[in-house]
């Protein structure tokens, strides 16, 4: 099956699922064959285009249809996110740059939360488009700086706020903070704000980071372009690291306010839950350093 045939079948199938009566057309009556669903002419009316224009799309004979037009078709035919993605792929040859639903990526399916919480021995978590932690396992929570005598917990629900604005991140646990962490993370935030202008959490972060006397100048410097951390390796201290049996314990204190931690390199393996465009799932692979690293 080529793209033209796939596009035709997708659009015909979606048209057949919508009763014209729901959109204000009268109930069909009289003799003769009655096709189910919307006709091409009715879809064209909903889209405020000529019947020929819509028919050209459905036949796969519209060269490079505009993204706005495809989004209007997806909305008119009540497509789900995955169906809209297929529409783009069949019509243009690539996936849509942004999800149709402005709330996409703000949550993950409950099964993701269960799966992440059951992972043991490997820090992992999922966050939404604004870096709010949606699910995390115990190994991830234990990575963060811990105060003596207190149970391990996330220092912030929002990871961007912690990485860019909190002293324990900047001064103690994210090593070589400005170059290794702040510059790429700030660039990620700029890209996310531009991609999701209606997201209130991102707008709040944009204001907080911009106004911060330390992170603000870095955030306003656009010399670094950065979208995602997949495959990146950065220096950090791991508060929950336990040396393998028989290995030398090289943990030490970064300061008197935190428990011992292990200096090392974390490599981020990032993926996206297909049902939550914009959300991210990350595995964190940590390797302890064998010798001190300059801060």
- DSSP per residue over 125-142, as a string? EEE-TT-BEEEE-HHHHT
Question: Which of 221, 225, 264, 222 minimizes the C-alpha distance to 241?
Answer: 264
pLDDT in tens, 131-153: 999 999 999 999 998 888 788 88
Instruction: Give the mean pLDDT of 36-62.
Output: 92
Q: How far apart are the first and last CA of the chain?
A: 57
Say how far apart CA 283 and CA 279 lie, in whole Å: 14
293/241: higher pLDDT: 241
Cα–Cα distances in Å, from 191 out to 2, 106, 195? 35, 17, 6
Strands 262-271 and 280-288 turn out to be antiparallel
Name residue 263's beta-bridge partners: 237
pTM confidence score: 0.70
Note the pLDDT of residue 104: 60
As a whole-number percent, the residues of the chain with pLDDT over 90 amount to: 52
Structure tokens at 191: 């890209």
Query: What crossing angle do the helices spanning 67-76 and 81-92 adopt, rounded to 10°?
Result: 140
Note the pLDDT of residue 54: 93
Mean residue pLDDT across the chain: 87
If pLDDT is split at 50, 70 and 90, which confidence band does 25 have? confident
If pLDDT is split at 50, 70 and 90, which confidence band does 105 have? low
Instruction: Give the mean pLDDT of 177-186.
Output: 93
Q: Which of 176-180, 196-200, 273-277, 280-284 has the lowest mean pLDDT?
A: 273-277
Is 273's pLDDT higher than 60?
Answer: yes
Note the pLDDT of residue 295: 47
If pLDDT is split at 50, 70 and 90, which confidence band does 276 have? confident
Q: To which H or E segment does residue 92 belong?
A: helix 81-92
If pLDDT is split at 50, 70 and 90, which confidence band does 163 have? very high
Contacts 24+ apart (CB under 8 A), 253-258: 254/145, 254/172, 254/173, 255/171, 255/172, 257/147, 257/168, 258/145, 258/146, 258/147, 258/148, 258/168, 258/172, 258/173
pLDDT in tens, 211-269: 999 999 999 987 766 667 778 899 999 998 888 888 888 888 888 888 889 999 999 99
250/284: higher pLDDT: 284
Structure tokens at 241: 């690291």
pLDDT in tens, 110-134: 899 899 999 998 999 999 989 999 9
Is 33's pLDDT higher than 50?
Answer: no
Say how far apart CA 184 and CA 187 lie, in whole Å: 5
Domains of the chain: 3-92 (1.10.260.40), 110-288 (3.30.450.180)
Name residue 286's beta-bridge partners: 266
Structure-token match 């009763």, residue found: 19
262: which residues sit within 8 A by CB, 6+ positions away? 237, 238, 241, 243, 250, 251, 286, 288
Q: Is 189 helix (H, G, I), strand (E, B) or coil?
A: helix
Note the pLDDT of residue 194: 85
Instruction: Give the mean pLDDT of 62-84.
Output: 90
Instruction: Give the mean pLDDT of 94-118.
Output: 78
């Amino acid at each position: 099956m080529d793209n033209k045939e796939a596009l035709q079948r997708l659009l015909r199938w979606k048209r057949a699922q919508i009763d014209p009566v729901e959109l204000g057309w009268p109930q069909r009556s009289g003799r003769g064959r009655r096709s189910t669903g919307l006709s091409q002419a009715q879809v064209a009316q909903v889209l405020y285009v000529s019947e020929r224009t819509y028919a050209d799309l459905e036949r796969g004979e519209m060269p490079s249809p505009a993204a706005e037009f495809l989004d209007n078709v997806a909305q008119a035919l009540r497509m789900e996110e995955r169906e809209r993605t297929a529409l783009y792929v069949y019509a243009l040859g690539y996936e849509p740059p942004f999800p149709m639903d402005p709330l996409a990526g703000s949550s993950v399916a409950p099964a993701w939360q269960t799966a992440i919480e059951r992972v043991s021995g490997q820090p992992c978590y999922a966050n939404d488009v604004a870096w709010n932690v949606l699910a995390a396992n115990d190994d991830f929570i234990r990575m963060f700086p811990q105060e003596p005598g207190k149970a391990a917990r996330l220092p912030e629900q929002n990871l961007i706020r912690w990485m860019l604005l909190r002293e324990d991140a900047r001064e103690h646990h994210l090593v070589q903070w400005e170059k290794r962490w702040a510059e790429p993370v700030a660039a990620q935030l700029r890209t996310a704000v531009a991609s999701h202008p209606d997201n209130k959490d991102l707008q709040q972060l944009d204001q907080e980071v911009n106004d911060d006397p330390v992170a603000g100048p870095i955030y306003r410097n656009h010399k670094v372009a950065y979208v995602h951390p997949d495959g990146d390796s950065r220096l950090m201290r791991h508060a929950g690291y336990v040396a393998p049996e028989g290995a030398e314990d090289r943990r030490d204190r970064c300061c008197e306010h935190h428990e011992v931690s292990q200096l090392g390199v974390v490599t981020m393996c990032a993926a996206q839950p297909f049902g939550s465009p914009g959300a991210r799932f990350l595995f964190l692979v940590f390797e302890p350093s064998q010798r001190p690293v300059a801060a």
